[in-house]
Every structure is written in C-alpha cells, then in structure tokens.
Structure 1
Amino acid sequence: MGWILRGHAAITPPMSLIEIVAVLLGLANIVLIIRRSVWNFPFAIAMVSLYFVIFRDAQLYSDAGLQIFFAVVNLYGWWSWHRNRADVGEVVVRRLPAFGYAICIAGSVAAIWGWGAFMGSYTQTSYPYWDASVAMLSVAGQILMARRFVENWHWWILVNLISIPLYVLKGLYLTAGLYGVFLVLAIAGLVAWRKAEVRP
C-alpha cells in the first residue's frame, strides 16, 4: 500500500468560514439529488467553487482540478435533468447495462493509475494515487449521475469511503465529517433511486 500513502506531511489549515459554507452547500446538494430535484445543480456549482480553493490550499491538486470538472458537468447535468423530468417534476432514472458497468470499472481503474502516475511525477501533490482515486472515481460518478444512471451511487459510496481518511490526514476534519454524512446519504440515495428506476 506504499503507493497510496506516499505524500507530504499533513497540512492542518484552520477551520474556516469557506469550509463551513462549502459543507452546508454540500449537504443541501446531496439531499436534493436523492430527491431527484434539478435544484441540486446550483448548490453543487457553488459548493465546488469553494472546494477548489480549499483543496488547492491543502495541496490536493487532483481534487482541486476535479472541482473545475464538476462545475462543467453540473451545468450539463442541469440541462439534461430539465429535459428528463416526469410530470410531477422528479427526474426519471435508469439502470446501467452490465457491459457499460464493466467498462466504467475498467475505465476508472485505468484513469486512477494514469492520473496518479502523472501527478506523482510532475507535481508536488500530496498522496498522488490516493488523491487520484478520489478524483477519477468522482469523475465517473458525476458522469453517471448526470446521465441519470442508478449505479452512480456505487461510485459515490466508494469515493466517500476513501475520501474520509484522506481528508483527516490533511486536517480537513469538517470536510471529512461531511463525507461521512455523504456516505450515509449515498446509501440512502441508492435505495431511493432503485425504487424509482425505469425498468425495461
């Protein structure tokens, strides 16, 4: 596991107002996603804008860059969800085919190794492969969520499990706590979306 733990000493920034606001926005965002409300997207865009600054200052550069990706994909998701709402205003969700699921797993693993190697070689990022795992799994989860696939929650559950100890090591205790809440809500989201999915 040495490739996961390679990194710099933990940076412990003071708990700041920006992190508190980002956490509150994140909680609102995930609750709205579970409810399949398109209003999750403006909350998400505001949250990732703040987390770009937080992760940049913590030298988690893959996570910081990920926030830019999130902003773009959330804009796409906002548009996509508006076009796929049911009459009652909730978004229609669906199941990912088995082959597509396998492709997503393989693509995620390849992206983690490739991005982790790049960041470890060319930047001073902390814990390059660990950070890359959070980033690349989040990319896959965000794409699956924007495309309304139930399986997006599988990726978010894994992201939350590996993010919590990383953020504790970096001194981002409030953010680690947020991801603990995210973990519980991701499980709830999986249950809710499976009940609501459109079956062929």
Structure 2
Amino acid sequence: MEKPALDMLLDYIAQSGLKDGDVLPAERKLAEALALSRRDLRAALASLEAAGRVWRGVGRGTYLGARPLRFTASLRSLRAGASPADIAEMRLVLEPAFVELAARKASPEDLAELEKCARRNAMANDDEEWQQWDHRFHLLIAQATRNPSIIALMDVVNSMRMKPNLREKTADQETRRHFALQHQAIVSAMMERDGVTAGSRMREHLLNVQWRMPL
C-alpha cells in the first residue's frame, strides 16, 4: 500500500536531520525528492501547519517548528480582547474583497487547489478536520491574490482563529455540509472569473458563520 504523503514528509524530515528553525526545500524540489505531486505535498504541509509543526514566511519559505516570537508578539496584540464575534466581523469586512481580487488573478493551479480543498471540506468527519481544510481554503484565496500584504494578513487571521478560545465550532455534520456547499459555490464563481458573485457568496458564507456563533 502506498504511504500517505504526510507520512512521507515526516520521514523525510526525520531522515534529513532537520530541526526546528530549519527551512524546508522549495516546494518543487521537495515534491521531486518525495515523488509527490505538488498538490499532495501542499496538503501534507497544511496538516503540519495546522498542527503548529511548521510555519510559512511570506516570500521566505516553510520553516520547521513554532512561529518565532517576533511574529507571535504582533499576534498577541491583535488577539487582546478579541472575541469570535470580533474576528467574524473583521473577516466580513475583508474577505469578500479578497476573493473578488483573487477571482481575477488566480492561476488555473490556484483554482484547482481551491476546488480540491472545497471537496476535502465536504468530506470532513469532525471539527478538527474541518478546521484544517477551512483555514487552508481561506488562506488559498488570499494566496491567489498574489498580494504579499493580503497573504500575510490572512495568515494572521487564521492564526487568531486557531486559538482555542477564539475558534468557531462546526460540531455537527449538517453545519459542516452547509458551509462546504458555500465554499464550493465561491470556487464556482471564481472559476467563472466572476469576482462580484464570488465576493457576494463569500459575504453570505461569513454572515452564516457569524449567525451560527453562540451569543
């Protein structure tokens, strides 16, 4: 049986003697070394990032270990006093504009990765798996804008959402299925290069997230 991409990546890290703070090879070289597709490699990296075992510096690469303090200090100031409702409100202001821009600038590879991510969202069996693919979905949209400032900002937003007391909960399968269908509708509009519709669908999605939050 073929070994999962995540296991192959973990074996590579262990066998290479890499330690926290070391940078991984560029995606293309790493995919070639592991004989993986870049899609499968990115999914494995996303799993490690969600678990806090790697972090990505915009334009700098992927590093092993926790994000350095100079980054987390700024996150602490942003989190101060923030509630899940505050974060949902911030996302409602930002992300419809992000996706409208991404619909115009996304490459075919970006759109294929988003489509795959939306499918994985739909197959999530629990809240933990859902969170992993949901965070990746929204970060992929930011990456598709090709704007380093937007990518960095979305990375911060995702980091805030990962904090246990700030996480949205998608505990039931019906909620996860509903949100997954909304993700798929956003991607469909992006594939049509219809930024206005994509932005409208993102706004509808985030309003749903906000509405389902506990008071």
TM-score by length of 2: 0.31
TM-score by length of 1: 0.32
The structure with higher relative contact order (CA 8 Å, sep 6+) is 1
